[in-house]
């Protein structure tokens, strides 16, 4: 999802599994369930709400909502803003070139998670927290029936599991020798691997 920063997790993955490519692609919120159902992606950092039938989902963190405005907009002069104060504005939630152009011209306000405004920052735009806005949640989702034996490893990295923890140290060597699939996808592992995982002694 736009706004999700993967740098830390990608770096750790490359250190632990240097021969297993981790392929990352950006998806829209409307398409996040589809890439999982189609098998196009093994996991998806999804912005909730998300239909979780036949999915596993780990909730990771909440995002602060912000009003994204032109630098000369009245909102830019305050530290934060309320929804009531935005009632007369043309407020939009879909981030696309047309909406951003309207915001830059001072004709609209974008209501987005702070991470989105940060990741697509522009010199002519600023954002201010919405103090009574509803936060959004980012989670990591994958299909229950996905057989990829590396999903559990990526989940462990996201959760902060060290390279020397049980099953990671032993399985890392095996995974590093596997050839990548002919059609690269995010190389991660199945939760089923957790249930039958081997413990290091």
Domain ranges in the chain are 7-57+139-195, 65-129
Segment 106-143, tens digit of pLDDT:
999 999 999 999 988 899 999 999 999 999 999 999 99
Which pLDDT score is estimated for 183? 35
For residue 174, give every residue at least 6 positions away whose Cβ sits within 8 Å of its Cβ, in sequence order, or none: none
| Residue 15, both tokens | 């250190």
- Looking at the domain covering 7-57+139-195, what would its CATH class be? alpha beta
- Common-topology check for domains 7-57+139-195 and 65-129: yes
Asked if residue 2 lies in contact with residue 120, where contact means CB atoms within 8 angstroms, the answer is: yes
Per-residue pLDDT at 144 = 97
Distance CA 187, CA 147 (A): 12
* Average pLDDT, integer, range 179-192: 39
**Does residue 199 surpass a pLDDT of 60?**
no
pLDDT of residue 148: 93
Q: Lowest-confidence range among 69-73, 161-165, 190-194?
A: 190-194
- The rounded distance, in Å, linking the Cα atoms of 48 and 67 is 19
Burial of 85 (0-12, 13-18, 19+ CB in 10 A): middle
What is the CATH architecture assignment of 65-129?
3-Layer(aba) Sandwich (3.40)
Whether residue 23 is predicted with pLDDT greater than 60 in this model: the reply is yes
The C-alpha angle with vertex 4 and arms to 128 and 136, in degrees rounded to 5, equals 55
Cβ 188 vs Cβ 153: under 8 Å? yes
Please tell me the predicted confidence (pLDDT) of residue 104.
96
pLDDT at 178: 44
């Amino acid at each position: 999802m736009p706004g999700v920063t993967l740098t830390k997790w990608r770096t750790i993955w490359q250190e632990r599994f240097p021969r297993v490519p981790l392929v990352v692609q950006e998806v829209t919120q409307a398409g996040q369930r589809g890439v999982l159902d189609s098998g196009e992606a093994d996991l998806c950092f999804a912005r909730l709400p998300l239909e979780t039938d036949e999915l596993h989902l780990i909730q990771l963190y909440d995002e602060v909502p912000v009003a994204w405005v032109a630098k000369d907009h009245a909102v830019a002069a305050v530290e934060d803003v309320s929804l009531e104060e935005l009632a007369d504005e043309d407020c939009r939630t879909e981030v696309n070139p047309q909406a951003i152009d309207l915001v830059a011209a001072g004709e609209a306000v974008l209501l987005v998670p702070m991470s989105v405004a940060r990741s697509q920052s522009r010199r002519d735009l600023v954002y201010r927290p919405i103090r009574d806005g509803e936060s959004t949640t980012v989670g990591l989702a994958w299909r229950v029936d996905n057989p990829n034996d590396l999903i559990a490893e990526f989940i462990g990295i996201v959760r902060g599991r060290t390279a020397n923890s049980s099953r990671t140290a032993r399985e890392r060597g095996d995974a590093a020798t596997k050839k990548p699939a002919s059609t690269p996808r995010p190389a991660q592992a199945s939760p089923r691997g957790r249930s039958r995982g081997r413990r290091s002694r």
